[in-house]
Amino acid sequence: MAQIKSLEELRRLRERVERDISTRRDTGTTIIVGMGTCGIASGARETMRAILEEVRRRDMDVNVTTVGCIGMCNKEPLVDIEQAGKPRVSYGNITPDMAPRLIEEHLVNGQVVEEWVVGRLQEDE
Amino acid sequence: MRELSHHVLDLLENSLAAGATLVTLRIDEDTEKDLLVIEVQDDGRGMDAEMQKRALDPFFTTRTTRHVGLGLPLLMAAAERCDGGLELESDVGKGTRVKAWFVWEHIDRAPLGDMIGTLLGALLASHSNWDLVFAHRVDGDTFGLDTRELRETLGDVPLSHPAVRQWLEEYLQQGYAELYAKQRA
């Protein structure tokens, strides 16, 4: 297994990203996927992979993170999008096939996909 | 849950919800013994005897957001359907160990499925101060990962950093491709 080579790769990668990490904190976008039992059983892991795939395809600089049950189990898979300076938007029942449109409209065009929204959270709340 | 790897992700999420800082995941496929074992051990807050009993009851959960828990009972039912079983060992303040085993060739055994997605789902958890030691053995060959080693290499750069995430995904794909290539050879 090419493990030693891979760790060396990781070390070089660290040197490269350490330089831009401070700027990211200010302008970052984070996509949060609910990954409790309810989310997993509704396909949240598959939705997460579709999101990762779309983000990679577009070569976008976006954080993707998972959280446990957030309490709207009947609307899983739940995906929240958080962008600096904007209210956090929660989307419900997001299946993998919806990921490309979600990312294109919300992140590329800056348009919230209203029909899929289940909640909003102001930044200062 | 359609795949055993969905259960694996659920177990890892349980450990994180219990405040674990070190989680060990072992998957052992032994075709000679016709056995598949999934074992997760954590150093989370643990459960007392009463709570352990209730954890295997489909109508119990520790979460406050909703009042029905299903994760462990679902896994136990899946294992028992495949002539396997589930073992739960837990100590308050020390941690929890869950071991589930299945007859590998059993007709009702769900496929392991997308382990890469499961590992990414856990590694990208917002809960950041924890480590995963993972080993998946298929007969004689093992693929593994230790996030302590990765963090040491990465310093202050988090595992969830987009560039690191991409590296992780490729690393897992490569590791699994090699593990299963050996089986086909």
> What is the pLDDT, as a whole number, of residue A5?
60
Beta pairing, strands A79-83 & A29-34 = antiparallel
**A65 neighbourhood in chain B, CB within 8 Å:** 124-126, 160
Distance from CA of A116 to the nearest CA of B (A): 22
**A48 neighbourhood in chain B, CB within 8 Å:** 117, 120-121, 124
Q: Which residues touch A59 (CB under 8 Å, ≥6 apart)?
A: none
B99: number of CA atoms within 13 Å, CB side?
A: 9
The torsion angles phi and psi of A28, rounded to 5 degrees, stand at -70, 155
ipTM of the complex: 0.90
Mean pLDDT of B17-21: 93
Say what percent of chain B tops pLDDT 90. 75
Nearest-angstrom CA–CA distance, A80 and A63: 12
Please judge whether B156 and A21 are an interchain contact, meaning their C-beta atoms are less than 8 angstroms apart: yes
Q: CATH fold of A24-121, please?
A: Glutaredoxin (3.40.30)
**pTM of this prediction?**
0.92
Give residue-wise pLDDT tens across range A69-112. Answer: 777 778 999 999 999 888 899 999 999 999 999 999 999 999 99
Q: Would you list which residues of chain B are within 8 Å, Cβ to Cβ, of chain A?
A: 1, 6, 9-10, 13, 16-17, 63, 65-66, 69-71, 74, 114, 117-118, 120-122, 124-127, 143, 149-150, 153-157, 160-167, 169, 171, 174-175, 178
Distance of CA A14 to the CA centre of its chain: 22
> What is the pLDDT, as a whole number, of residue A2?
47
Give residue-wise pLDDT tens across range A43-62. Answer: 999 999 999 999 999 999 89
> What is the pLDDT, as a whole number, of residue B68?
45
Q: Does A27 touch chain B (CB under 8 A)?
A: no
Nearest-angstrom CA–CA distance, A104 and A100: 6
A88-91, strands of its sheet edge to edge:
A63-67, A29-34, A79-83, A88-91, A117-121
Confidence bin at A124 (pLDDT 50/70/90): low
> What is the pLDDT, as a whole number, of residue B183?
72
Spans of all domains in chain A? 24-121
